[in-house]
Amino acid sequence: MFRRIRDLREDRDLTQKELANALSCSQQVYSNYELGQRDVPTEILIKLSFFYQVSVDYILEISDNPKIQK
């Protein structure tokens, strides 16, 4: 999952600071999410899902299909 959230961010040419601001957390906290040094809370997973418009399953690497199932 940690590589996937980094890849999603980099694919959109965003810095960790920009994404941290969007998630209302510090750059250091977000960096720890990407490095796998801190568990990503459910609330942040949901925010990432909405931000990137991908499913939580995709972020968690349960699925390789980024589309949100309705």
What are the average pLDDT values for consecutive 10-residue runs of the chain, which has 70 residues?
94 97 96 95 96 94 75
Q: Which two structure tokens, joined as six digits, stand for 57?
A: 């399953």
Cβ atoms within 10 Å of 33's Cβ, excluding its own:
24
Q: What is the pLDDT of residue 69?
A: 63
Can you give the pTM of this predicted structure?
0.87
